């Protein structure tokens, strides 16, 4: 009799556990639909931000005419070299400012918080807001720390408008570029890139010309 009673108690406890699990499941079931709704709602916002970002990138074409890597003391925050000159990273910095985001400030603040994780090949002992955000290796660390890194591939469809791509220009120059919303006349799956590789800001069909070292998506 005692064994029977113990068995009934164990069975009831098991049913209770299942009921509790069921109630938790029922309570949680709508969450994926809510998450999907938030994702759908955020899609137009992302598209709008990417569109403004690309407008700000393209706006530099015909204005930034010179590639000039010379060190320049900048105002902080919001500092910039004259619009007619700059390097590849300045195209990205100016495009971000077009959507109200100051990459100079963001990188500087992150380097102050996590100085040890950033490259040290320039011999600096502390962050320098005049140059740190203009160095591609620093931007690569910053975007990765923000969780914006994506796998590198050789598939054109993997690179969407507004994506950032880093590569190495021989023999060893780090380079960064923006994926445009305009497509290559030679391959409709491959998008043009906006960058400054030596002759000022321009849009070119050179996405896979150099070895890609990083792929990032901010939105």
The residues spanned by each domain of the chain are: 49-216
Strands laid side by side in the 173-183 sheet: 149-150, 211-216, 164-169, 173-183, 191-196, 201-204
Kindly state the DSSP code that residue 171 receives in the 8-state scheme.
T
Least confident window among 25-29, 60-64, 92-96, 147-151: 25-29
Task: List Cα–Cα distances, 190 to 95, 194, 202, 207, in angstroms.
Answer: 21, 13, 17, 8
What is the distance between the alpha carbons of residues 109 and 195, in angstroms, rounded to a whole number?
Answer: 25
Kindly state the DSSP code that residue 190 receives in the 8-state scheme.
S
pTM: 0.81
Q: How far apart, in Å, do the first and last CA atoms of the chain sit?
A: 66
Residue 43 pLDDT exceeds 80: no
Mean pLDDT of 114-131: 97
pLDDT at residue 53, as a whole number = 98
**What's the pLDDT band for 200 if we cut at 50, 70, 90?**
very high
Residue 215 pLDDT exceeds 80: yes
CATH architecture of 49-216: Alpha-Beta Complex (3.90)
What is the distance between the alpha carbons of residues 199 and 29, in angstroms, rounded to a whole number?
Answer: 56
Say if residues 79 and 125 touch (Cβ distance below 8 Å): no
- Helix, strand or coil for residue 115? helix
Residue 87 pLDDT exceeds 90: yes
**pLDDT tens-digit profile of 162-186?**
999 999 999 999 999 999 999 999 9
Which tokens sit at 24? 């938790």
What is the distance between the alpha carbons of residues 64 and 70, in angstroms, rounded to a whole number?
Answer: 15
């Amino acid at each position: 009799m005692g064994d029977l009673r113990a068995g009934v108690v164990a069975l009831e406890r098991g049913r209770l556990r299942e009921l509790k699990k069921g109630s938790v499941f029922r309570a949680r079931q709508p969450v994926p639909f809510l998450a999907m709704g938030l994702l759908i709602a955020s899609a137009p916002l992302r598209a709008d931000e990417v569109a403004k970002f690309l407008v700000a990138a393209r706006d530099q074409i015909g204005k930034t005419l010179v590639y000039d890597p010379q060190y320049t003391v900048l105002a902080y925050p919001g500092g910039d070299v004259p619009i007619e000159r700059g390097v590849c990273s300045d195209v990205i910095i100016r495009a971000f400012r077009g959507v109200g985001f100051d990459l100079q400030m963001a990188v500087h603040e992150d380097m102050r918080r996590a100085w040890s994780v950033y490259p040290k090949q320039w011999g600096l002992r502390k962050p320098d807001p005049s140059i740190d955000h203009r160095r591609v290796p620093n931007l690569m660390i910053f975007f990765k720390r923000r969780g914006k890194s994506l796998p590198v591939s050789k598939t054109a469809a993997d690179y969407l408008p507004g994506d950032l791509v880093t590569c190495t220009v021989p023999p060893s120059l780090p380079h960064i570029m923006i994926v445009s919303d305009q497509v290559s006349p030679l391959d409709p799956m491959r998008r043009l890139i906006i960058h400054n590789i030596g002759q000022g800001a321009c849009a070119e069909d050179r996405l896979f010309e150099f070895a890609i070292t990083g792929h990032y998506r901010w939105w």
